[in-house]
Chains A and B, each alone.
Chain A
């Protein structure tokens, strides 16, 4: 199988080369798009521009690395693998759907990956479901993807909001206190995070002092911080993600709130911590994957290789999502010796990731019945500066098994109808 070991390139890279051939393609855009028919194609419909550009790009880098590895090991069913990446934009779901159609109807992809944006993940899921294509959601966290809007063909690598809140809630209550104030982004993701925390509070006789439902994309958090500090809580729960999290934390620290209260939340990402000035890298959080874990096989090699491809920077959870999603496709196809969506989806029920792909303890697996990966979650705290590496901005305090904090399948609201 050595002949398949040539490095995989995204279509973008291939076409960059092709562009040198001539301006012909500008004159007739569709002529050069014909590709070798015998490759297996994986479509990635993800956010490469706008607010989530960095997250989407990082997932793509993870996918590309996996594709190179897969090709070096003989490809899928002996055929070379090709990654076709399409920009869904960060906000325009219409474009995301359009790109899904393009990948499926024109490029005839065999698999679909993406998206960072939950809404887009759901919308793309509808398209792939109609086409019967194996689809792995890389980074949209809203519970519905493997809950009430689940599909037999849609799997998810990243966690549900329920898993994230339940992983960290106990630690917060025992270490910092049970009187909380919520700063919640006002959309489905934020609401489910808050209600996840509220469940834990109620179960442990904690008290919710109040919650500010803050519009998504808010730039000035001072009004809400004023309200939060007035209740004098033990913990201010910050549920913002991405850019909102940067803005909120930056302003909370400028107001000195971190010195008066504990700041914590659920999901946190290395990308966000790196975008904060050092003094604002604070709080207790959940990471979905981290590059520095003790005694995990294959991790050091993975990190070293990813650094080479990532301009010297360490891989984040986003890289890992892309990597795991892509490898899942390859394993499912090679094990079933088929590119049939139904067969592969059936194979993946309760499928355990091999250690060289998992790169985390506790044998993560795709849970049967709602297709949700049950990984390890990392509860820990942010730190301003890494001791031996500038990108070591998170300290793992506790590892939580996904299966222990996930809702049982029958409570997720997921009802799958398999094709007959």
Chain B
């Protein structure tokens, strides 16, 4: 993402850091088992990292707090699941339809709420998210209700030169998810580097001044919201295919909270922040919940500690260290 004036210290190391991250991600299926993990854990990290990065497009770079992103994540998930179950057994089409569903919903809701700010915006996003949650939870005949949407699975992708069997090979699916992640963060980074992205930063820094400069801030925030939701929806489609299942919980407000904490934990103002946040959060939750059934206390405590002691996130701290 574009260099932010206040975070200059990381700039020198950025290339080296990026290279290390990509190498680690590309080789992940080959070393994760040795560390006691498993491929699906890596896939989950990458998919949720995509969701957190997408949320951060809005949160970290436009300065708008959404606590209802799970709705669009879930819409992507159900869009993909319903397509595979009822329409066509095609993975690319499932992704496309899932993303489209999230985009349409986000466009409409966004138009309704774009005038609201701060805490009010956060509350309303939660509440609107719940509408979609209840639709998924209650509309038994279509969504499977509480039982979730099952009886379908991701389909191998025909590449023309050969078939990528993402159904039987969890490694193949990991690389599909990684490709999706790379593509998405690439697009988001490019957007942020464009004049549009600069404008978003200007709105984040001082909305009133931006408006005085003649920037239609509402429309920019709406666009940023839409872009963010589209990529969250994309990660939702991948998540549904990871589990071969879509579940109302994907749309619930506590899922939204998880995305926010991932972004904050890693560092909202850093390129790799949400990825690192997602990795720490997913691995920690996976690990603690195997050790103790009181894992909720630990996760809760973790939230509290991050807020009180590491509000700038892991990368924020490193950035500050190297600055001094």
Contacts and interface: CB of A to CB of B under 8 A. Distances in A.
Direct contact of A and B (CB under 8 A): yes
Contacts of B249: 91-94
A123 B148 contact: yes
A187 interface: yes
Contacts of A142: 147
Interface in A114-137: 118-119, 122-123, 126, 130
Contacts of B205: none
A93 B153 contact: no
A98 B145 contact: no
Contacts of A1: none
A3 interface: no
Given A101-B40, A106-B33, A86 B289 contact: yes
B291 A12 contact: yes
Contact of B244 (A12, A91, A126): A126
Interface residues of B, number: 43
Interface in B62-81: none
A49 B293 contact: yes
A87 B287 CA distance: 11
Contacts of B250: 94
B41 interface: yes
Contacts of B37: 30, 106
Contacts of A48: 293
Contact of A186 (B39, B144, B145, B293): B145
Nearest to A101: B40
Q: In the complex, which range does the number of interface residues on chain A fall in?
A: 35 or more
Nearest to A142: B147
A149 interface: yes
A87 B39 contact: no
B158 interface: no
A304 interface: no
A367 interface: no
Interface string A183-209: 000111101000000000000000000
A256 interface: no
A216 interface: yes
Contacts of A53: 293
A149 B283 CA distance: 32
Interface in A19-45: 19, 29-31, 33-34
Nearest to A130: B168
Interface in B271-319: 283-284, 286-287, 289-293, 295-296
B35 interface: yes
Contacts of A98: 40-41, 44, 243, 286
Contacts of B242: 94
B239 interface: yes
A303 to B, nearest CB: 25
A15 interface: yes
B150 interface: yes
Nearest to B146: A187
A286 to B, nearest CB: 22
B245 A187 contact: no
Contact of B36 (A31, A92, A101, A187): A31
Contact of A93 (B137, B247, B284, B291): B247
B287 A29 contact: yes
Nearest to B44: A98
Interface in B20-45: 33, 35-41, 44
B146 A216 contact: yes
Given A86-B289, A102-B40, A105-B39, A97 B151 contact: no
Given A93-B247, A98-B44, A216 B145 contact: yes
Given A87-B289, A106-B36, A123 B145 contact: no
B173 to A, nearest CB: 11
Given A118-B147, A149-B150, 19 more contacts: A12-B290, A12-B291, A19-B291, A30-B37, A48-B293, A49-B296, A86-B290, A92-B249, A98-B41, A98-B243, A102-B41, A102-B286, A119-B247, A186-B138, A187-B145, A188-B145, A188-B146, A216-B145, A216-B146
5 contacts: A30-B287, A91-B248, A97-B245, A187-B147, A216-B145
The 8 closest A-B pairs by CB, nearest first: A30-B36, A93-B247, A119-B147, A48-B293, A101-B40, A106-B38, A105-B38, A187-B146
